[in-house]
Amino acid sequence: MCDLAYVLLVEQLERQVLADRQIAALQFVMSGEGGDLPTLAESVAQFDEALVAAPQPADVDDEQMRLRRALGVA
């Protein structure tokens, strides 16, 4: 169950990163400025760090806590 939940969350993260990259690229073109586009590897690394970090009561809402419980990290 934990592996399946992780894979589903990473797939969701991948879709979000791809959408964010399109938005960022459009913003760069319209503003005439350059910048760094978000990468999937960076986003997955941040996600993995968040999974192993100790939950902070003030930072964790109900939905986040349900996800952590489903992944077995809370």
Domain ranges for the chain: 2-71
Overall residue count recorded for the chain in this entry: 74
Distance CA 21, CA 28 (A): 10
* pLDDT exceeds cutoff 70 at 1: no
CA dihedral for 34, 47, 4, 63, sign (positive or negative): negative
Q: DSSP letters of 16-57?
A: HHHHHHHHHHHHHHHHT---PPP-HHHHHHHHHHHHHSPPPT
Which tens digit of pLDDT belongs to each residue from 19-37? 988 888 888 888 887 777 7
pTM of the model: 0.61
